[in-house]
């Protein structure tokens, strides 16, 4: 059983999807820690409903972001975390954490990487850019996190159609529904040790037949 930490900044519906999948035993792991960086994040309430320990990451309480990262690593170690899941977490994870948890941090991005990703592409900005560009397909990408921004190896992707009358609201809801399926699926694969990273490529191992 893997011990999972989820980082969230807002509503936490992706956190909920991971918790639900753990409860249903679709994931061989459990959420043992939730870190949030906005005081009013509903993700905190969700975590507390399941008695999951929470940590508030107040950026202003640290002199440097490296200091905050050192604090985060201490928390992760204390809770013996195997996997970090960034689920709607809007702060960048520092190099100290990406190095310590190499290929053990998973992020969900609400577009098809390498389009509409990187600096400035977060939250509603992603969907705004998608609609302004006029692409007919958007989607969701679940990827490992490296020191770059949305640059890590891709685990799963799924396309979502963009309709002519879409608004940021309607498109983000359609993408979010897919994230709720894809993120727990990627976490489940990780927890079954079925993900192998070869350079930029992530291989998904088939389940062996149990006789």
Enumerate binding residues for ligand GRF (CB under 6 A). 8, 10-14, 87-88, 108-110, 122-123, 176, 179
Which among 109, 127, 143, 180 is annotated as catalytic?
109
Q: How far apart are CA 11 and CA 181, in angstroms?
A: 17
Nearer to ligand GRF, 45 or 99 (CB): 45
Task: Examine the residue annotation and report whether 109 is marked as an active-site residue of this protein.
Answer: yes
In eight-state DSSP terms, residue 79 is T
By C-alpha distance, which of 38, 29, 51, 28 is closest to 7?
38
Nearer to ligand GRF, 70 or 170 (CB): 170
Q: How wide is the angle at C-alpha 41 spanned by C-alphas 37 and 45, nearest 5°?
A: 120
Give the nearest distance from C-beta 207 to ligand GRF in angstroms: 28
CB closest to ligand GRF, residue no: 88
Give the nearest distance from C-beta 198 to ligand GRF in angstroms: 26
The tokens for 158 are: 């799924």
Q: How far apart are CA 10 and CA 88, in angstroms?
A: 7
Nearer to ligand GRF, 9 or 98 (CB): 9
Cite the active site residues: 109
């Amino acid at each position: 059983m893997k011990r999972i930490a989820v980082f969230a900044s807002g509503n936490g519906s992706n956190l909920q999807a991971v918790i639900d999948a753990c409860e249903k035993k679709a994931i061989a792991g459990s959420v043992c820690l939730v870190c949030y960086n906005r005081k009013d994040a509903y993700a905190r309430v969700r975590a507390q409903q399941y008695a999951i320990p929470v940590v508030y990451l107040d950026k202003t309480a640290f002199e440097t972001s490296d200091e905050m990262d050192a604090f985060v690593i201490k928390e992760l170690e204390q809770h013996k975390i195997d996997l970090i899941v960034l689920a709607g977490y809007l702060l960048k994870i520092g190099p100290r954490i990406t190095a310590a948890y190499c290929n053990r941090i998973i992020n969900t991005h609400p577009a098809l990487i390498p389009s509409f990703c990187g600096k400035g592409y977060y939250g509603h900005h992603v969907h705004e850019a998608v609609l302004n560009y006029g692409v007919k397909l958007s989607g969701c990408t679940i990827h490992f996190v490296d020191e770059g921004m949305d640059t890590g190896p891709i685990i799963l992707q799924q396309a979502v159609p963009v309709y002519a009358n879409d608004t940021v609201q309607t498109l983000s809801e359609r993408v979010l529904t897919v994230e709720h399926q894809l993120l727990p699926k990627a976490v489940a694969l990780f927890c079954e040790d079925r993900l192998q990273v070869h350079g930029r490529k992530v291989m998904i191992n088939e389940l062996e037949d149990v006789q």
